[in-house]
Amino acid sequence: MKTSALALAALLVAGGLSVPAFAADDSTFDSDYLVTQLQQRGINAVDVYQNGDNIIRADVKLADGSTSFQYYYEDTLAPVQAAAQPNTRVLSKLDTGVKAAPVVTDSLLFDGDKDN
């Protein structure tokens, strides 16, 4: 009986120590709160998802009934603006026009040595 009581006490202590490890995995992301905050700002958000570091993706219902994704900073709920990268290049008709492939008369499978 004494051994069973000690085993039970050890099991309870071990179980109590493992509870904080499970609690650490609990997410603090509250999508309902963020949906409410966006709606109070006049954004017809339907659902919100974590998208990255401090960025959320909101499913927003538009006036025509369609849904689009819009991105916001989680801490300020300010819209994320698409920034043009310094190496961004806009293609013109000159860049995307049709070009003829170079004429190749030599075979890639034959080395051209006729003595073999």
- Tens-digit pLDDT profile for residues 52-69: 888 999 999 999 999 999
Least confident residue range of 19-23, 43-47, 99-103, 111-115: 19-23
* pLDDT, the chain, mean: 75
Which residues have C-beta within 8 Å of that of residue 83, sequence separation ≥ 6? none
Backbone torsions φ then ψ of 8, nearest 5 degrees? -65, -40
Task: Answer whether residue 70 is part of any domain.
Answer: yes
Average pLDDT over residues 87-107: 67
Task: Answer whether residue 6 is part of any domain.
Answer: no
Task: Answer whether residue 61 is part of any domain.
Answer: yes
Task: Answer whether residue 29 is part of any domain.
Answer: no
Task: Answer whether residue 112 is part of any domain.
Answer: no
- Tens-digit pLDDT profile for residues 2-46: 555 555 555 555 555 444 444 444 468 899 999 999 999 999 999
What is the residue-wise DSSP string for 34-64? HHHHHHHTT--EEEEEEEETTEEEEEEE-TT
- pLDDT value of residue 38: 95
Task: Answer whether residue 116 is part of any domain.
Answer: no
Q: How many domains does the chain have?
A: 1
Distance CA 7, CA 19 (A): 19
Binned at pLDDT 50, 70 and 90, residue 78 comes out as very high
Longest dimension (CA), the chain: 98
Task: Answer whether residue 99 is part of any domain.
Answer: no
Asked whether the predicted pLDDT for residue 79 surpasses 80, the reply is: yes
Assess contact for 59 and 67: CB atoms under 8 A: yes
* Residue range of the domain that includes 66: 45-75
Task: Answer whether residue 50 is part of any domain.
Answer: yes
